Amino acid sequence: MTLGAELGTFDHLPLDQDREISSIVPNRMNLSGLLNDRQLEAATTLDGPLLIIAGAGSGKTRTITYRIAYMLAQGIPQSHILALTFTNKAAREMTERVREVTGKKLTNLTTSTFHAFGVKILHEQIHTLGYRPNFSIYDQVDKTEMIRTVARELSVSRDSIDLFALSALFSGIKTKRTTWESANDQYRELYEEYQGHLKAYNAVDFDDLIMLPVEIFESSPEALEHYRERYRYIMVDEYQDIDERQYALVSALAGRRRAAPRARAAPGPGLGLAVHHLDGRRSRLRGAALRRPL
Ligand SMILES: Nc1ncnc2c1ncn2[C@@H]1O[C@H](COP(=O)(O)OP(=O)(O)OP(=O)(O)O)[C@@H](O)[C@H]1O
Ligand SMILES: [Mg+2]
């Protein structure tokens, strides 16, 4: 197992906002005015797995942004780059920033949340699982409503169910965080009906947005290969927040590129870069990083 290159902390930043240039073509030279040495090293190291661990507000997201700009300047097609974040706002800001820096139209760059990325894959591939492409996405309210309907159909007494708890249980079962055991087994039939209803209504819930793409990758080697070919440079901001299923999604995509750079015969694109906070939660993050190697 390797964590790739650990780049330590980004200390003592030259916070010189005046040096911001809108529309530069980044190369090592002019990036050096915008990033400190450690950031520059991370932004310009494109091969192999790379893990950045640095403190809050130290410029990790900035480094990813300039790393994308650097990749584009190196001639890497936008379509090969995937930057995943946890909020829509962060994804939008990243795209906007790369656009400002490069002055390029970013029609093929994918900066996205995990869920939005899941939606994209489902739009392209959900037919392989027997759904129609115009599927609906059920939010929490739709989900509880569906559980209520299913419970009524199975004549489960209203008083004996807590919709909120059931919704959480179903989520746990679907994402494999929870298993069926004697304490919850009486809800198994309800869950199976719920799943059947979703499919019948051509609908997916939020958990499916991550789970179904993983299922597609597991069941269709051609689909997986297609996405592996496409997304050759994958970056995850706030990597410490990744959960098991998101990790399954991203590591399936990264595939053989997860191999340590030194272990590979030839250099090549890699699972780009993951970003950790280091702010008193070090041991937890260390643990998370070790469980989820790049
Ligand atoms: N080398 C630098 N030169 C100028 N400004 C910088 C530099 N590094 C970081 N900054 C600025 O510091 C601020 C914080 O950077 P950024 O948001 O990238 O940090 P972060 O590590 O991702 O933060 P968080 O922990 O909140 O995710 C931003 O305004 C960024 O532009
Ligand atoms: Mg950040």
CA dist 16 and 111 (Å) reads 26
- For residue 166, being part of any structural domain is answered with yes
Residue 293 has a pLDDT of: 59
Residue 291 has a pLDDT of: 54
Residue 25 has a pLDDT of: 60
Residue 172 and residue 248 share a domain? no
Residue 152 and residue 116 share a domain? no
- Residue among 246, 269, 248, 271 at smallest CA distance from 258: 271
CA distances 161 to 142, 153, 157, 192, 260, Å, are 17, 14, 7, 16, 49
Q: Which of 18, 40, 52, 62 to mutate to test the pocket of ligand 1 (most atoms within 8 A of CB)?
A: 62
Residue 32 and residue 140 share a domain? no
Sign of CA dihedral 128, 134, 137, 142: negative
Residue 242 and residue 96 share a domain? yes
How far is ligand 1, taken at its centre, from the CA of residue 58, in Å?
5
- Pick left, alpha or beta for residue 274 (phi over 0 → left; psi -120 to 50 → alpha; otherwise beta): beta
Residue 69 and residue 28 share a domain? yes
- For residue 195, being part of any structural domain is answered with yes
Atom of ligand 1 nearest to the CA of 16: 4
Residue 172 and residue 26 share a domain? no
Residue 119 and residue 45 share a domain? yes
- For residue 105, being part of any structural domain is answered with yes
Residue 237 and residue 146 share a domain? no
Residue 227 and residue 108 share a domain? yes
Residue 151 and residue 101 share a domain? no
10-residue stretch averages of pLDDT, the chain, 294 residues long = 39 40 58 89 86 86 92 92 93 91 90 96 96 96 96 86 94 94 94 97 97 96 94 89 89 70 38 46 44 58
> From atom 24 of ligand 1, which residue's Cα is the shortest distance away?
57
Number of domains observed in the structure of the chain: 2
> From atom 4 of ligand 1, which residue's Cα is the shortest distance away?
15
Give the residue numbers spanning the domain of 53.
2-123+222-286
Q: Is 266 in the pocket of ligand 1 (CB under 6 A)?
A: no
pLDDT digits (tens, 9 = 90+) for 143-167: 999 999 999 999 888 777 899 999 9
Residue 169 and residue 24 share a domain? no
CA dist 16 and 279 (Å) reads 24
- For residue 293, being part of any structural domain is answered with no
Question: How many other β-carbons are positioned within 10 Å of the β-carbon of residue 105?
Answer: 9
Residue 240 has a pLDDT of: 82
CA distances 199 to 57, 109, 136, 144, 212, Å, are 43, 31, 10, 16, 12
Last residue of a domain, one of 172, 201, 230: 201
Q: What is the CATH number of the domain that holds 78?
A: 3.40.50.300
CA dist 25 and 18 (Å) reads 17
Residue 264 and residue 180 share a domain? no
